Homo-oligomer: A and B are copies of this chain.
Amino acid sequence: MIPFNHKIKNRAKNINSYLCIGIDVDPALVKSNEFDDLVSHSKKIVDATRDIALCYKPNFAFFERWGARGFKWLEDIVHYIGEDAIVIADAKRGDIGNTAKQYAESIFNHFGFDCVTLSPYMGEDSIKPFIDFEEKGVFILCRTSNPSADTFQSQNLIGGDHIYELVAKWANDLNTKDNVGLVVGATAPKELSKVRKLAPDLPILIPGVGAQGGNLNNCVFEGNKTGIGIVNVSRDISFSGDCSEKSIRESALSYVEKINEALNG
């Protein structure tokens, strides 16, 4: 069995891509409320980028808002992506152990995702049922990309750390099966640099590039000093230009190239 953190590094090297593509199909951006148009658009994103996407990251919110048929769509899109790319369930789960077991069953066994994003707020109980699936992975929210991330994550603790630093150390300790990673936003470059030092081997999933304004070169450099830094882009690829397959592919290719330049430059 190949541990999850090896699996993701292997694919990155094999296809020479550190790009994660968010599949967040916002009806306002598709300019349609026809459900079938949203489904088609999600498949178009995958068709345009199969060979260059290290990962796909569907965010559950954009599926859940359509209720049962949205989850049918989620089942279908995970299947449509298939076995090659890593598929990240962007679900940000965090619940008591008994409930976390049900979520792990859902995300890994029912939907067939390779890994999941989790919130650290409830501690180890809420993480363990996921990392017990040894071939699957978790990305724990550490320092998120949104404007109000600071409110709690950057609070100063008496021992000298910020909360996000404590999360990084704790996640590093949880990584006994080589299947734990972290989420750190590109909008927080200093924090990303600190986290990389605290958790040198953990994969870091880096959202916040593109629509959210994070600096690409810096986050690629910091995230890949050691371990692997995976850059997530959602809107700036999925809704690029005229939203055609050609336009989506061009945007994705351009990101792959910019990331590789930053890696090698």
Q: Which positions in A face B, CB cutoff 8 Å?
A: 24, 26, 59, 61-62, 64-72, 74-75, 92-100, 102-103, 105-106, 110-111, 119-126, 141, 144-153, 155-158, 163, 166-167, 170, 212
Contact, CB under 8 Å: A146 / B121: no
Given that A65-B102, A163-B155 are known contacts, is A94 also in contact with B119, CB under 8 Å in the complex? yes
Task: Determine the residue in chain B with the shortest Cβ distance to A73.
Answer: B68
Chain B residues with Cβ below 8 Å from A102 are 26, 59, 61-62, 64-65
CA distance A121 to B98 in the complex (A): 21
Chain B residues with Cβ below 8 Å from A100 are 61
Contact, CB under 8 Å: A71 / B61: no
Contact, CB under 8 Å: A120 / B121: yes
Contact, CB under 8 Å: A61 / B99: yes
Q: What 5 A-B pairs come out closest when comparing CB atoms? A: A123-B148, A123-B151, A61-B102, A68-B72, A65-B106
Which of B110, B146, B158 interacts with A125 by CB under 8 Å? B146
Given contacts A121-B141, A123-B148, A152-B167, list 14 more A-B pairs with CB under 8 A. A24-B99, A59-B99, A61-B95, A61-B100, A65-B103, A65-B106, A65-B110, A66-B106, A68-B71, A121-B121, A121-B144, A152-B163, A155-B163, A157-B158
Q: How far is the CB of A69 from chain B (nearest CB, A)?
A: 7
